[in-house]
């Protein structure tokens, strides 16, 4: 096989390997990446809140990139909880079984978060301080509504600082 043929074969293998989706991984292997992405979102929201508390907002280096992270991650949130990735996976997870027992409500909250995150990102791009403060409160309420129902209270105990 020629060098160009080998390169084409390697490129095809790379494309094929990159096309395997999150949902194709075994359930237990999906939990840690989900937790990491949710922590990314939480960390990004905390960074925005910290900027507001400082009284002098760094839009370009803190708020805008973190608002983008929240928006980007929220777009995939509803794909992070396929059946089999709850406690039955026998991997530590704070996702409660009610996620899969009440999928319509969970989906409603996930879509609300997506809308809230998109608005947060627009407000950040516009550098609207009053809007940012209000939207951070709104998105916080959406997060809390989901956490109160769908996340184990053990999360708070296990993640105290």
Long-range CB contacts (within 8 A, 24+) of 49-58: 49/136, 52/132, 52/133, 52/136, 57/127, 57/129, 57/132
Total domains, the chain = 1
pLDDT per residue, tens digit, the chain (161 aa), is 544 444 344 444 433 343 345 567 888 899 999 999 999 999 999 999 999 999 899 999 999 999 999 999 999 999 999 999 999 999 999 999 999 999 999 999 999 999 999 999 999 999 999 999 999 999 999 999 999 999 999 988 888 76
DSSP letter string over 78-125?
A: GGS--TT-SGGG-S---B-THHHHSHHHHHHHHHHHHHHHHHHHHHHH
Task: Output the CA angle 44-76-104, nearest 5 degrees.
Answer: 115
Let me know if residue 121 belongs to a domain. Answer: yes
Give the 3-state secondary structure of residue 153: coil
- pLDDT computed for residue 43 by the predictor: 97
| CATH code for position 31 | 1.20.120.10
Cβ atoms of 117 and 70 closer than 8 Å: yes
Let me know if residue 53 belongs to a domain. Answer: yes
Range of the domain at 86: 25-158
Let me know if residue 9 belongs to a domain. Answer: no
User: φ, ψ for residue 91 (rounded to 5)?
Assistant: -130, 140
- pLDDT computed for residue 12 by the predictor: 40
- pLDDT computed for residue 41 by the predictor: 96
User: φ, ψ for residue 95 (rounded to 5)?
Assistant: -70, 125
Let me know if residue 29 belongs to a domain. Answer: yes
């Amino acid at each position: 096989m020629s060098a160009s043929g080998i390169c084409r074969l390697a490129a095809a293998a790379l494309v094929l390997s990159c096309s395997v989706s999150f949902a194709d991984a075994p359930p237990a292997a999906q939990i840690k990446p989900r937790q990491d992405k949710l922590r990314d979102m939480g960390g990004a929201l905390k960074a925005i809140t910290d900027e507001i508390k400082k009284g002098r907002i760094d839009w370009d280096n803190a708020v805008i990139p973190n608002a983008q992270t929240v928006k980007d991650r929220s777009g995939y949130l509803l794909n992070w909880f396929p059946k089999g990735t709850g406690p039955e996976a026998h991997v530590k997870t704070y996702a409660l079984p009610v996620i899969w027992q009440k999928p319509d409500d969970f989906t409603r909250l996930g879509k609300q978060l997506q809308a809230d995150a998109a608005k947060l990102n627009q407000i950040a791009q516009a550098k609207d301080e009053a809007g940012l403060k209000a939207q951070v409160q709104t998105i916080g309420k959406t997060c809390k509504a989901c956490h109160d129902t769908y996340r184990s209270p053990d999360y708070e105990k296990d993640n105290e600082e």
